[in-house]
Amino acid sequence: MSTTIMPPGRCAGCGHDLVSAAPESAPWCPGCLWNLDEYDPALAPWRGTKLVGRWGFRRGLRIDRATRAELSADPDAGPDGTSTGEVWLSAVSVVLGLVGAVAVGYLVWLLLASGLPAGVRVAFALPAVLVLLLVKPAFGRVPRTGVLSERDAPQLHRLVGDVARAAGTPVPDVICADLSINAGVARLGWRQRSVLVIGVPLWVMLPRPARVALLAHELGHLANGDPRRVRRTLLARTFGARAVAATGGRNPWLRAVHGADSVAVHGGGLVALLSLVVHAFLGLVNVLGATAQLLVDSVAMPDSRRAEYRADLMARRVAGTDAFLQSCEVVLLADRVWSELWHLAPRIDGEQLDAMAAELREHQAPKLRLARQLSRRGTDLWSTHPGEDQRMRLVETLPRVDGTLHVDESRWADLDRELAPWRRAVHHALLGTRDRY
């Protein structure tokens, strides 16, 4: 997000010009950081009400400070067995599993043992079916497109294997590429296979050593005690989100009001009354699902946040301090660099993307300081990652290290040739976006 200078204000403490991300956003001082940690509804994630959002924002800041202090004192410490968050999520998952089992038993009884008429049985079965739809586990699917087999990408598999050995983590079962400005690792499918997904646009923007840091961070999630990536916590992690998605997503009461307006326009009657009742019911389920998920995650997120920092420390150890910090800087500037590449796409080809991205990173570097500070306002307790500023501050407090894994230029050249078709795909995506607009 861009920042603008606030014309009327100077910091009373240091005299620096105040800045703000938007006219309605709370200003802060980029010099002494006055007011930076203030809750800003314009930037913080929306959690239903300002009261909940403010609490989550402040709670997230406290957890980040405590976790940084803990890990700064002992950066090489691994997870201590089963975490509190994992126990909590596992217990909730067991309860939800029992609820699902009761619903199945109830449906079997309705079908086989009850003497009720067929229509009555169908009506009585609907609540149990809804319960099953909400509590059944979402295993996800292993991607079928973008899979990079060892035969197709031997150099990439070799690099990922080297990073996994250096980090002391399992090698992912599947490696995929896509066209997102992101990267991630997840357990998917009935067998919960580990899948590493590399967003090639982000890969292109990263300097080569920072790519090693990216891989080390993602693979660190396979062995850093994150309760949100353990199989037995799956039910607790998904039931509330599914309830929200099944009832239309965010802003349920706004949809209810629009539904009431539509009914009023098209006339009243029994149909209108039923429509209002349905909208109200869906809104209630939506709010209850979102609230339940927030409550469950509130207990689990401190351990999950600690796992994110441990993954960062893994990236520092494997790739080095400088490479990790570079990876964070690219994440902060990625949207701006992508926007610039969009403008330049007609004048370059896929083979020039890396060099052009490096040039654009340098061009955008003056904006890095404010973008880093701004990242602290865009995260709260329930954000999947700490802000980039918080992550960088942890690593900057530790002694500088060079990393344990070094990849020579010839290997990088081979890997670049291997991923050349994906670079062309990124270039085509840039041109395709331009064509649509």
Domain assignment present for residue 20? The answer is yes
Residues in Cβ contact with 201 at an 8 Å cutoff, skipping those fewer than 6 apart: 179, 180, 181, 334, 338, 426, 429
pLDDT confidence band for 159 (50 / 70 / 90): very high
Query: Please, which residues have CB within 8 angstroms of residue 54's CB and are 6 or more apart in sequence?
Result: 39, 44
Residue range 237-264, pLDDT digits in tens: 777 767 766 666 656 656 566 655 565 5
Q: What is the DSSP string of 185-207?
A: EEEETTTTEEEEEEEHHHHHHS-
Cα radius of gyration rounded to whole Å, the chain: 25
- CA proximity to 210, closest of 354, 324, 353: 324
CA atoms within 13 A on the CB side of 97: 13
Tracing tokens 């991205």 back to the chain, one arrives at 357
Residues in a beta bridge with 87: none
Classify residue 387: in a domain, yes or no.
Answer: no
Tell me which residue range forms the domain holding 1: 1-36
28 located within any domain? yes
Q: Check pLDDT > 80 for residue 154.
A: yes
pLDDT at 163 (0 to 100):
97
Whether the predicted pLDDT of 292 surpasses 50: yes
The residue that leads in pLDDT, 2 or 89, is: 89
Q: Give the pLDDT confidence of 394-416 residue by residue, as tens digits.
A: 999 999 999 999 999 999 999 99
> DSSP of 267-287, one letter per residue?
--SHHHHHHHHHHHHHHHHHH
Instruction: Name the domain count of the chain.
Output: 1
**Least trusted range by pLDDT, from 12-16, 99-103, 409-413:** 12-16
**pLDDT at residue 198 is higher than 90:** yes
Q: What is the mean pLDDT of residues 108-137?
A: 81
* Residue 9 pLDDT grade (very low, low, confident, very high; cuts 50, 70, 90): confident
- What pLDDT sits at residue 6? 44
Q: How many whole angstroms separate alpha carbon 25 and alpha carbon 268?
A: 43
Q: Is the pLDDT of residue 435 over 60?
A: no
- pLDDT at res. 270: 64
- Mean pLDDT value of segment 350-363: 92
Confidence (pLDDT) at 267 = 55
**pLDDT at residue 132, rounded to an integer:** 84
Would you state the structure tokens that stand for residue 437, as one six-digit string?
A: 């607009």
Residue ranges in 168-269 assigned as alpha helix (H):
200-205, 208-220, 234-246, 252-266
Nearby residues of 301 by Cβ (< 8 Å), 6 or more positions away = 60, 63, 85, 381, 382
Mean predicted confidence (pLDDT) in 273-301: 75
Identify which has the larger pLDDT, 423 or 282.
423
Tell me: pLDDT of 115 over 90.
Answer: no
**Is 7 a member of any domain?**
yes
Specify the higher pLDDT residue, 163 or 20.
Answer: 163
Which residues sit opposite 186 in a β-bridge?
A: 195
Q: How far apart, in whole angstroms, are the C-alpha atoms of residue 58 and residue 84? A: 21
- On whether residue 236 sits in a domain, the answer given is no
What's 176's DSSP letter? E
Which of 99, 47, 87, 63 is closest to 294 using CA atoms?
A: 47
Asked whether residue 188 carries a pLDDT value surpassing 80, the answer given is yes
Residue 17 lies in a domain: yes
**CA distance linking residue 3 with residue 22, whole number of Å:** 7
- Contact 428/349 with Cβ under 8 angstroms? no
The pLDDT tens digits of the residues spanning 18-46 come to: 988 877 888 899 999 999 999 998 888 87
pLDDT for the residue 246: 65
Q: What is the pLDDT confidence band of residue 269, given thresholds at 50, 70 and 90?
A: low
> Does residue 437 have a pLDDT over 50?
no
Instruction: Name the residue among 432, 142, 192, 204 with its Cα closest to residue 338.
Output: 204
Determine how β-strand 4-10 pairs with β-strand 174-178. unpaired
Q: What is the tens place of the pLDDT at every residue in 373-402?
A: 999 999 998 888 899 999 999 999 999 999
What percent of the chain lies above the pLDDT cut of 90? 50
Residue 331's closest CA among 400, 298, 379, 297? 379
Is 289 inside a domain boundary?
A: no
pLDDT exceeds 90 at position 207: yes
Rounded-to-integer distance, Cα 325 and Cα 316, Å: 9
Across the chain, what does the average pLDDT equal? 85
Q: Tell me whether residue 9 is in a domain.
A: yes
**Mean pLDDT in residue range 317-327:** 97
Q: Taking each helix axis as running N to C, give the angle between helix 409-418 and helix 154-167, from 0 to 180 degrees, rounded to the nearest 10.
A: 130
Q: What's the pTM value of the predicted model, to 2 decimals?
A: 0.84
Question: Nearest Cα to 17, choosing from 350, 26, 27?
Answer: 27
Backbone angles phi, psi at 9, to 5 degrees: -115, 140
Beta strand 174-178 with 183-188: parallel, antiparallel or unpaired?
A: unpaired
**Residues 6+ positions from 343 with CB-CB distance below 8 Å:** none
For residues 112-129, average pLDDT = 81
Record the tokens describing residue 367, joined without a space: 């904006």
**Matching residue, tokens 């086989």:** 112
Side chain identity at residue 393, one-letter code: R
Residue type, 139: F
CB atoms within 10 A of CB 167: 25
Residue 17, pLDDT above cutoff 80: yes
Element (DSSP H or E) covering residue 19: strand 17-20
If you average pLDDT over residues 317-333, what whole number do you get?
A: 97
Cβ within 8 Å of residue 308, ≥6 positions away: 226, 384, 385, 386, 391
Please report the pLDDT score of residue 5 as a whole number: 43
Note the residue count of the chain: 437
- Say whether pLDDT at 144 is over 70: yes
